[in-house]
Amino acid sequence: MEAYKGFASVYDNFMDEIDYPAWVQYIQEAWKRLGNVPKTVIDLGCGTGNVTIPLAKAGYQVFGVDISEDMLAEAQRKAFLDELSIPFYCQDMVQLGLSIQVDCVLSLCDSLNYLTEEGELSAAFCAIKRHLNPNGLFLFDMNTEYKFKNVLGDKTYAATTEDSAYFWENSYDEEEQMNEYYVSFFLRQENKDTYERVEEYHYEKAYSLETVKACLEENGFELLNVYDGYCFERAKEDSQRYFFVAQLKEKM
C-alpha cells in the first residue's frame, strides 16, 4: 500500500471530528508549562498540515515531514493558499535524515503506532534524537491498547459526505497487539455521476507505557509526563490516547 494514496484527497473531510485548533492550543500550553517554548519545530507525520500550518501562522519555524507524497501535496496546497512558505519533506520517520536540528519534534495523530516491526519504535526515537538541539523536547501521542481492544474492537464503521463515502472494517489481534483497518473509499469523479473505489489496509501496533518509556530512555530521553489524551490529567488504564512529554537528557 502506498501510504494514504486514496485517502489524501478526502482526509480532512473524514477527520473533521478532530479539533485541531484545540490540539495546537494544548501543545502551546504544554510548552508554556514546561517553561521551554521552542522557536523551531518538526511536525513528524504531518499529514495534510492541520497542525503544521497553524503553528507556522503562530510564528514558529515549522518543518513538515510525512511518508505520503499525496498527503504532503495536500499540505503544500493548503500552505500555498495561506501564503505560507513551509518546507515539507517526504521521509520515513525510522530513517529520518534532515540536515537540521530543532527545539522540538512533534508526532501526533497516532503516527508512531504505525511502526509495527520489531525495533522500529526505538529506531525512530534514535533518529528524532539526532534532529534535536540540546535539551530539546519530544511531544507525541499514541493510541492505547484499551482503545484498540475495547473501543474500536472488531467493528465496522461508515461515513459519507456529499461527494465521498468510506466503510472501515476494524479488527484487533490481542496476542500480536496489532490493529488492522481495512478501508473502502468511494470518491465521486469530477463532473460525473460515477464513483471510484479505492481500498487500503492500515496497521497500528499497541505499545505499553513500559515499552515506550524504555525506548525513550535507551535513546537518551527523559519522560517528563504522560497525559490522558489532550488534557493535563494523568494517563489512566482506560485512556484511549496517551500524550507523552519527553526531553533530551542533559549530558554530564
* Grid cell of 168 as nine digits: 472501515
Q: Please check whether residues 40 and 154 belong to one and the same domain.
A: no
Cβ-based neighbours of 180, under 8 Å, separated by 6 or more: 170, 171, 172, 173, 201, 202, 203
Between 251 and 73, the higher pLDDT residue:
73
Q: Please check whether residues 136 and 170 belong to one and the same domain.
A: no
Q: Please check whether residues 135 and 198 belong to one and the same domain.
A: no
CATH (domain of 166):
2.20.25.110
Identify whether the C-beta of residue 171 lies closer than 8 Å to the C-beta of residue 180.
Answer: yes
Question: Domain tally for the chain?
Answer: 2
Domain range for 113 is 8-143+207-248
Q: How confident is the model at residue 170 (pLDDT cuts 50, 70, 90)?
A: very high
Q: Is 98 part of any domain?
A: yes
Q: Is 1 part of any domain?
A: no
Q: Please check whether residues 229 and 183 belong to one and the same domain.
A: no
Q: Please check whether residues 244 and 196 belong to one and the same domain.
A: no
Q: Please check whether residues 134 and 218 belong to one and the same domain.
A: yes
Residues constituting the chain: 252
What pLDDT is attached to residue 211?
A: 97
Q: For 2-56, what is each residue's pLDDT tens digit?
A: 454 445 555 555 555 678 899 999 999 999 999 999 999 999 999 999 999 999 9
Measured CA to CA, the distance from residue 24 to residue 37 in angstroms comes to 13
Q: Is 2 part of any domain?
A: no
* Grid cell of 227 as nine digits: 497525559
Calculate the CA 4 to chain-centre distance.
13
Q: Please check whether residues 194 and 222 belong to one and the same domain.
A: no
What pLDDT is attached to residue 252?
A: 42
Q: Please check whether residues 183 and 225 belong to one and the same domain.
A: no
What pLDDT is attached to residue 14?
A: 54
Q: Please check whether residues 152 and 41 belong to one and the same domain.
A: no
Between 114 and 187, the higher pLDDT residue:
114
Residue with cell 515549522: 62
Q: For 69-124, what is each residue's pLDDT tens digit?
A: 989 999 999 999 999 999 999 999 999 999 999 999 999 999 999 999 999 999 99
What pLDDT is attached to residue 8?
A: 55
